[in-house]
Chain A
Amino acid sequence: MSSLGRIGKSLKQLLTVPFASSEAEQAAAPDAPQPPLASPDAAPGEPSPRSLPGVGDLSPSLEDYLEIIFQLQQQGKVARVREIARLKDVKAASVSVALKRLAREGMVHHKAREFVELTERGVTLARKISERHEFLRRFLREILLIDAEVAEADACAIEHQISTQTLERMACFFQYLSSATEAEPAWLTRFRTECSTLPHPGPPRRRPEPVPLSRLERGQVGRVVRLLAGSQVRQRLVEMGVLPGVPLEMDGRSPLGDPIRVKIRGYSLSLRLSEAETILVEREQSRADR
């Protein structure tokens, strides 16, 4: 199986880079790809497997920055603050702050109003980060046969949160699959066939489309999903306890039809329709249906 072979190769690379920033560990790393099940009891001894969500001490957000700069450089483009802000969809000011932090960590060369360049250390780390992303994406795509789009999104979501230990085990699992035999094991083939016969879930578990709170009928129950209001109203709403995830019940309208009232957190709250428009809720089973 050629795809497995490719994965096996990228896996080797992957495992040679440990998910810690220190150079010493990096030097020690090449020995890492041990037979996966050969040292099962080594695992408990490892220090806090969940404590390292990212690579080194960088926060997920900073890792993203590093990745973006790396990609820009790979494409032969010059990484400028404005370009980075556009790609990450944030304000330039936030980029500057992030770059300052990265510079402090010794990952980039950056002076105000100039383009950004990764340091050697930055390049190493960025490569690791993007390889990790690539590995996760392929694992999902090629082994679990996840849809391409979903695989990409899930890889993004998983990469910052996954622990070193789990990632290493996943890598080992791959190596095991690819090195066990040139031919695909029978059980894997069976798994693949079964996957393809499974009813295609489409985009998995589509949640009910959020609607504005104003659309709820009296007695209907919903759960807040998002607040779209401007800062003044939003501030007031969160103060009154209207937050994503909070359940509420529509409790009718004023006789003139405009302000509505809802029950939330055990009390009655009134708001105008224009304000209710800005609160997106997921409809839940109404009381009458139950």
Chain B
Amino acid sequence: MMWKASSNHVTRAALLSSPQAKKVCWVRAALVGLPGAGRTTIFQALTRSRRCMAGFPGLERGRRGSFAQGSLQFEVADLPGIYGLSSQNPDERLVRDYLLERGETVVVQVADAPNLERHLYLTSHLLELGLNLVLCINRCTQARRQGWDLDFSLLGARLGGTRVVCVDGTRLPGIEALRAAIVEAADHPRTGTPYRHHPELEAAIGPVERLLSEPAPARAGDGDGDGDGGEEASPGAAAASPVRPGSARCLALALLQGDEELARRLRRTHPRAAQVLAAAAAQAGLAGQLRSEGIVEQIAAGRWSWASSLMQQITLSRPLGGRASFSDRLDRLLTHRLLGLPSYLLIIYGVFWLTFRLGEAPSGWIEAAFGELSRAIATSWPEQAQPALRSLLLNGILAGVGGVVTFLPYIVLLFFGLSLLQDSGYLARAAFLNDRLMRRMGLHGKSFVPMALGFGCNVPAVMACRLLENERDRLTTMMIIPLMSCGARLPVYLLLIPAFFPSPWWAPLMMGVYLFGVVMAALLARLLRATLLAGEDSPFVMELPAYRIPTGRALLGQALRPAWIYLRKIGTVVLALSVVLWALTSHPHKPEFEVDLRAAAGEVLQPGQLEAERAAEQLRYSAAGRIGKAIEPILAPMGFDWRLATAFLGALAAKEMFVAQMGIVFALGEVDESSPTLRQRLAEAYPPWVGLAVVLFTLVASPCMSTLAAVRRESGSWRWPLLQWFGLTLIAYLLATAINQIGALVA
């Protein structure tokens, strides 16, 4: 553990005297606060430079940044929004463990002035941990305009000298004052008056706390205490060799309130786990008997009454009630019984339409630029010199990078739109509006947004799943997103449906495919919730925050971050996989082509036919073609032959590749989805039910690599994307087999 109890609060003097001082003087600060308190805005304003630092375990959902003030460098972590620290919600647990483990030098709580009482509830938790707290009160001017007059200096005094700073979003004077306060807090730490529960509760907490912090009886508790920050071992181990005075207390409180997850962890790591847990259960039972309420209510009631009495002390005047606020009036329209849903659809549609509309042009430019680049290379690099390397660069790397970067404008715009929805407070309404529908599917109200997004592209849709707070909801939504038929699958349908079916059927079939995907998604989600991701529904107890206009700066920051993650994390995987696919389709190299022999024998070929036939032969000869041939027997029940198998192999990278691969296999050269010759060939080669099987197979089977890479990134392990790939492919296989068998039978 880097920050032992003694070095909890690193003063500037201590930092300067340490040997590393000459290199960097890092002082660590963390921003905490309720969701919607304006943490992110403050964070953006506070940190000029954004830099990523290693070694923040379990903080994927937080942000980090830094700023310099004088000789000190401040590293600021923006922790997820929480309401308290004792709940069993994953975010709150994460923040709790983070604060207990990392021993931040300064902790800044961002609070919202117009609604301060709720924020003081969280303050009671933070004071209890004995943190070096700076209270940053946001939207002071707005509160004053509403009629609040609060005595903040008295608030600071009542909290035992805690520093209180007033800010107004990104306005500079406030931010400067906040910086100064953080520096001052780093220099002269103050822990404020620790929050105390009522005596009977204290009597219950005491024994558990003591047991927790007693050092291990037999073996030295140091072994697992010095964890490398592994998420699991930490708090229990921290308790075994007490790190901070507040730590044992906080854990004791959580145990008294029946935190089962913590209990499990403790059993693994704490030498006296059984004793501690028994004591906690007994004390909780005793405390529960003293009053008519359970211990959970008692603890919370104490905190709330502390907060409201504090509010009474510092309130000089409060707004007069009466006229409904602008936000309330807007809400009456946007969640109206009849107008609510249409306006919702309109807003979501508007965001997506703008995204794809505005993204189209830059995406086209990028595509064109890559086209130019590869053409330039192709012309300047003679075909004979290093043909393998040339092909790798042109067809492997450039094609892969191009494919990744073309999506970038969409990603940036989409996340800009999503942040707009979230920061304005509309997203909470969106969840409120269709939670019932989504819940029927085993999902959460907020799942609707990523799902709708999936119709555009699955990759940003998977990334948008982070809107969902609950892990199970997030995973379930992620797993079913590939069933939302994305734009890349459209060319496949456009090629196949007209090839096999008469024109009156086109529109209904197209519609049917999309609907089929949604129904499958609903069924699969329910299946997942009943098996792998079984568990109680996460509570929907959620604030509907007042509407507000988000700042452009915060929006931009929130849009660029996912773009960066997309490029760095998802892009690299996609690039690697596309090089592998390139190798599969172009190796081994065929030494001589039959079509050349035929041409030499005097056969007359049409212009372009030579290249097309060569490409087809090469593909057949390549590893991909051989694999296609090898798996033909497996695919036979679906009615697929080696040509379709090879095309699907090519479509692993991106679904739209299917069309191009079909063109090559049928020796037609470069084709697109509206090619009449290809349609004709297809209709000759396969019966219509196989056509339908291919369409549904394209929809369900084998999500593209980019999606898989995104799922890997967002779920944190390869387990989920692999399960997704195999699961969906199996389902598609069974489905297509059924269609083919029934079709053959009927015919």
Contacts and interface: CB of A to CB of B under 8 A. Distances in A.
A231 B88 contact: yes
A236 B82 CA distance: 11
B544 A236 contact: no
Given A93-B285, A232-B539, A244 B435 contact: no
B632 interface: no
A244 B536 CA distance: 24
B540 interface: yes
A68 interface: no
Contacts of A252: 335
Interface residues of A, number: 46
A261 B327 CA distance: 15
A230 B536 contact: yes
Contact of A255 (B115, B297, B299, B338): B338
**Max chain A C-beta neighbours (<10 A), residue from B294, B297, B301:** B297
B278 interface: yes
Interface string B366-397: 00000000000000000000000000000000
Contact of B544 (A256, A261, A275): A261
A69 to B, nearest CB: 16
A265 B542 contact: no
A60 interface: yes
B439 A268 contact: no
Interface string A73-116: 00000000000000010110110111000000000000000000
Contacts of A230: 536
A243 interface: yes
Nearest to A229: B539
B118 A244 contact: no
Nearest to B122: A239
Contacts of B621: none
Contacts of A258: 435-436, 439
A61 B286 contact: yes
B88 to A, nearest CB: 5
A275 B258 CA distance: 20
Contacts of A274: 537
Contact of B257 (A231, A256, A271): A231
- For the residues of B in contact with A, the DSSP-based class is helix
Given A268-B543, A275-B539, A238 B300 contact: yes
Nearest to B321: A266
A211 B335 CA distance: 26
Nearest to B338: A255
A255 B290 CA distance: 43
A97 B537 CA distance: 35
A256 B115 contact: no
A250 interface: no
A256 B337 CA distance: 8
B536 A267 contact: no
Interface in A232-271: 232-245, 252, 254-259, 261, 265-271
Interface string B432-447: 1111110100000100
A31 to B, nearest CB: 34
B445 A259 contact: yes
Contact of A238 (B289, B290, B297): B297
Contacts of B337: 255
A169 to B, nearest CB: 27
Contact of B282 (A59, A96, A245, A275): A96
A254 B436 contact: yes
Contacts of B439: 258, 272
A227 interface: yes
Contacts of A269: 541-544
A259 B435 contact: yes
B336 interface: yes
Contacts of B84: 239
Contact of B541 (A97, A240, A254): A240
A91 B258 CA distance: 15
Given A97-B282, A230-B536, A256-B433, A240 B297 contact: no
B340 interface: yes
Given A231-B88, A231-B258, A234-B296, A241 B286 contact: no
Contacts of A270: 428, 431-432, 540-544
Contacts of B436: 254, 256-259
Nearest to B428: A270
A99 B436 CA distance: 50
B281 interface: yes
A35 B118 CA distance: 56
Nearest to B337: A255
19 contacts: A90-B289, A91-B281, A94-B285, A94-B289, A227-B297, A232-B88, A232-B536, A233-B539, A237-B541, A241-B121, A241-B304, A243-B304, A255-B336, A255-B338, A256-B433, A266-B115, A268-B331, A268-B546, A272-B439
Interface of A: 59-61, 88, 90-91, 93-94, 96-98, 227, 230-245, 252, 254-259, 261, 265-272, 274-275
